[in-house]
Structure 1
C-alpha cells in the first residue's frame, strides 16, 4: 500500500517512520503541503492518503481522490469535521481517525491555559526577565471551590473533569449523553443554561458540528457570569471570535484561552514570524492582556504522537485482506 502523508512535519515523519518498521506492507511518502484542490495532484498514483486537522477533505477534493482510485483516508486526529463523510461514503472510501491518541494531553493543556490566565505566569515571566519583581496586576484566585463547566465529556472531557475535581472544583457537565465514569468522579450533569449561569470557568471539549458551531456567541455569553473564563482546546469554530472580542471589551469575558482558532488553517503549524498575518480579528485577540493563544499544541506530547502514528498505520493495515485486496465495507472507522 502506497500512502501519501499530507501536512507532514518533521516530528510526524519521525514517529510514522518509527512505527512503520512493524508495517512493512505500507510504504509512506511524505508531503509538507496541506491537502487542498491546489495540491490534490500529489495524491495521484497512491492507494491511500493520511491527513491532519486542517487538510481540505471537501466534496470536490474527495471526488478527485476517487478519480485517482484512492481507496482510504486515514486521519491523524480525532476530529473529522473537515471531511465530507457523505461524499466519502458515496465513493466507498473508508475514513479512519484516531479517537484515543492521548486524552490527557489535551486535557492537561486546557488546565495549563487555565493556570496561565489565572496566575498570569506569562506576564510574570517577562517581568522578572526585565528585573521587575512587582506583584501589582498579577493577582489570581484559588481554583479550589470554583465551579467549572465542561461542555463535552468524551475521553478528553472526562480527563479534564478528573483533573479539575482533583483541584477541588465543583464540576458541571453538558453532553448529549452522560458519561457514567464522569458522574462517578463527582461531576454533575446539567443543561447548558445552568452550566453557563453557574460556571466561573467554561472549557470546551465537544466536536464541531452544526449544533456546536459558534457555541460561544453573544447570546450564550449573555447568560454567563461577568468575568467568566473560557477555554477552547477543541475546534476553533466553536467560538465566534468577533463576538468573543466584544465580550472581552465589555468585561463579560474575563479570561480567554485558545489553542484553536476558526481561521487557523493558513497560520497554525507554520513559522509565520517573518510574515504579516492578514487576519485583523486574530491580531486584535493578541492585544488583550487577558487572552492567551497557543498554536494547536494541546495534543503535542510524545505519547500522543506515537499513539497517532501507531493507530494510523493499524487503521491502514486493516484495509488489507489476506489476499492483498482492500476491504470496502467500512465507511467510517471509530
Structure 2
C-alpha cells in the first residue's frame, strides 16, 4: 500500500521512507509532500486510504470531509497535540485518527532551556555583533540562574525533564498542574496556584497542552503579574499566550527575555520560506523586532531521537489500523 504524507521535511523524508519499507508488518511505500494538509491540498489525497499529517496540518471538519470523500479512511498525525483535529467530525465520518502520544521529552525540555539561556545571556545579539567584528559587551549582561526561581506550568514528562535541568542549575522550583508530579516534588518543587507562580518566578516555562481551559493561560493579567525582569519561554503551543498582550508588555520595556518556539498564528507560516515576501502578520513582525525576544519555528522536538520515535510510532499506528488494533495513540474510534 502507498501512504501519502503531508508536511515532510527534507530531513524526515528518508527516515520515513525507510521506516515504512523496513517495518515487520510492511513493507509500504510512502509518498512524501512538503506542503501541509489544508483545504486546498486535501484533494491531492484522493485515492489514498491512509494519510499522514504533520503538527501544523489542518484537520478541521471541512478537510476531513474532503479526505473521506476521496477515499481516505485513516489519518496518522505525526505529533502529540490534537487541538487541530475535529474529532467529532472524524467519528461521524468513520475515520480512524491516531497521534504520537509521547516521544523524547528531553528534546523539548533541552530546547526550552536553550531559549531561556539565549535570551538571558543575549547570545543571539552577541553572535550578530561578533559577525560584524563588534566585540563590545555593552548591553549583553545576563544573570545567574543559580539561586533564582523557576516556574513550570505543566509537570508531565516534558515539564519534569525541564525541572530536572532547573534543579541542576540550583534553582528554587515552583510548579502548577492539576496533579502534582511526585518526581518533581522529590526534587523540591512547591506546587502553587498560577497567580503565585507568575508573581514569584524569575523564569517561567510552559509545558501544558492547548485546550479550551489553557487557551491564553498567559493572558494580560498574568503578564502584568510577572516580574519586570522575568524570562518567559513557550515551547508547547502558541495559543497558550495572548500574543497581543505580550507585545503590549514588551513595548513597555518589560521582561529580561522571551523565548518562543511556537506562535498562535503559526499555521501556514512556520516550516515555510517567506523570506522574499512582504510580512503580512503585523504581530509576528513586531515580535521579532524586540531585542530581548527570540522566535524559532517550532523546532523544539526536532532531534534525531525524537523524530525517530515519532516516525516509528506513526508506522506502528498504521500497522495497528491495518490489523484492526487500537492503542494509546488511537484518538478515533474511541476506546471500547
TM-score where L is the length of structure 1: 0.94
Structure 2 Cα separation of the partners of residues 263 and 193 of structure 1: 26
Structure 2 Cα separation of the partners of residues 333 and 133 of structure 1: 59
Once the two structures are TM-superposed, the CA of residue 250 in structure 1 deviates from its matched residue by 2.1
Which secondary structure does the structure 1 equivalent of 2:256 belong to?
strand
Once the two structures are TM-superposed, the CA of residue 166 in structure 1 deviates from its matched residue by 0.7
Q: Which residue of 1 aligns with 2:15?
A: 15
| Partner of residue 86 from structure 1, selected from 85, 88, 91 | 88
Q: Which residue of 2 aligns with 1:26?
A: 28
Q: Does 1:212 align with 2:219?
A: no
Q: Is the 8 A contact 1:96 1:333 kept in 2?
A: no
Once the two structures are TM-superposed, the CA of residue 122 in structure 1 deviates from its matched residue by 1.0
Once the two structures are TM-superposed, the CA of residue 82 in structure 1 deviates from its matched residue by 0.5
Structure 1 Cα separation of the partners of residues 31 and 334 of structure 2: 23
| Partner of residue 135 from structure 1, selected from 127, 134, 137 | 137
Structure 2 Cα separation of the partners of residues 32 and 298 of structure 1: 19
After TM superposition, the structure 1 = structure 2 runs for residues 1-334 of structure 1, keeping only pairs within 5 Å, are: 1-23=1-23, 24-321=26-323, 326-327=324-325, 331=332
Structure 2 Cα separation of the partners of residues 92 and 187 of structure 1: 44
Q: Is the 8 A contact 1:95 1:333 kept in 2?
A: no
Which secondary structure does the structure 1 equivalent of 2:315 belong to?
helix
Q: Is the 8 A contact 2:120 2:256 kept in 1?
A: no
**Over aligned residues, Cα RMSD in angstroms?**
1.8
TM-score where L is the length of structure 2: 0.93
Q: Is the 8 A contact 2:228 2:255 kept in 1?
A: yes
How many equivalent residue pairs? 330
Q: Is the 8 A contact 1:221 1:252 kept in 2?
A: no
125-134 or 208-217: bigger deviation: 125-134
240-249 or 262-271: bigger deviation: 262-271
Structure 1 Cα separation of the partners of residues 153 and 234 of structure 2: 10
Structure 2 Cα separation of the partners of residues 84 and 253 of structure 1: 37
Q: Is the 8 A contact 2:21 2:28 kept in 1?
A: no
**1:107–1:61 distance in 2 versus 1, CA, 3 Å:** same
Structure 2 Cα separation of the partners of residues 191 and 87 of structure 1: 36
Please list every run of 5 or more consecutive structure 1 residues that lacks an aligned counterpart in the other structure.
Answer: none
128-137 or 276-285: bigger deviation: 128-137
Once the two structures are TM-superposed, the CA of residue 168 in structure 1 deviates from its matched residue by 0.7
Which secondary structure does the structure 1 equivalent of 2:175 belong to?
strand
How far does the alpha carbon of each residue in 1:204-263 deviate from its partner, in whole angstroms, 9 at most, with x for none? 111111111112221111222222211011111111111101111223433111011111
Please list every run of 5 or more consecutive structure 2 residues that lacks an aligned counterpart in the other structure.
Answer: none
**1:43–1:327 distance in 2 versus 1, CA, 3 Å:** farther
